Structure 1
Amino acid sequence: MINYTKIAVGTDGSDSSLEAVRAAASLARVYDAELIIMSAWYAASGSLLNAPHSDVSSVPIVEEDVAEEHLRTAQGVAEEEGATRVELRKIAGAPAAALTKEVADLGVDLLVVGNKGVNTLTGRVFGNIPTEVVRNSTVNVMIVNTAQDRI
Structure 2
Amino acid sequence: MINNGTIVVPTDFSEQSSEALRRACVLAKQFDAEVHLLHVIDPSLYFETDMVSISPLDEISKAQHEGATKRLVEQAGSVDLPITTHLEDAVSDPARAICDIAERLSADLIVVGRHGRQGVLEHMLLGSTAERVVRHASCSVLVAMPHGLVGDVQE
Structure 1 and Structure 2 fold alike (TM over 0.5): yes
Residue by residue, what CA displacement relative to the aligned partner does 1:47-101 show, whole Å, maximum 9, x if unpaired? xxxxxxxxxxxxxx9921232133123202332xxx24x2100011042111100
**What is the identity, as a one-letter code, of the residue corresponding to 1:113?**
V
Q: Measure, in 1, the Cα distance between the counterparts of 2:42 and 2:64.
A: 6
Higher relative contact order (CA 8 A, sep 6+): 2
Q: Which moved more, 1:116-125 or 1:92-101?
A: 116-125
5 Å matches for 1:119-138?
A: 120-121=119-120, 122-138=122-138
Question: 1:102 matched to which residue of 2?
Answer: 101
- Structure 2: give runs of 5+ residues left out of the alignment: 47-60
Question: 2:110 matched to which residue of 1?
Answer: 111
Question: 1:74 matched to which residue of 2?
Answer: 75
SS at 2:2 equivalent: coil
5 Å matches for 1:1-150?
A: 2-4=1-3, 5-45=5-45, 63-79=64-80, 83-84=81-82, 86-93=83-90, 94-116=93-115, 120-121=119-120, 122-148=122-148, 150=150
Q: CA RMSD in A?
A: 2.3
Q: Measure, in 1, the Cα distance between the counterparts of 2:106 and 2:71.
A: 23
Report the Cα offset of residue 149 of structure 1. 5.1
Identity across aligned pairs (percent)?
25
Report the Cα offset of residue 42 of structure 1. 3.5
SS at 2:87 equivalent: strand
Report the Cα offset of residue 118 of structure 1. 7.9
Q: Measure, in 2, the Cα distance between the counterparts of 1:117 and 1:69.
A: 26
CA contact (8 A) 2:2 2:109 kept: no
- Structure 1: give runs of 5+ residues left out of the alignment: 47-60
> CA separation of 1:33/1:101 partners in 2, compared to 1, >3 Å: closer, same or farther?
same
Q: Measure, in 1, the Cα distance between the counterparts of 2:40 and 2:127.
A: 17
CA contact (8 A) 2:16 2:115 kept: yes
> CA separation of 1:123/1:87 partners in 2, compared to 1, >3 Å: closer, same or farther?
same
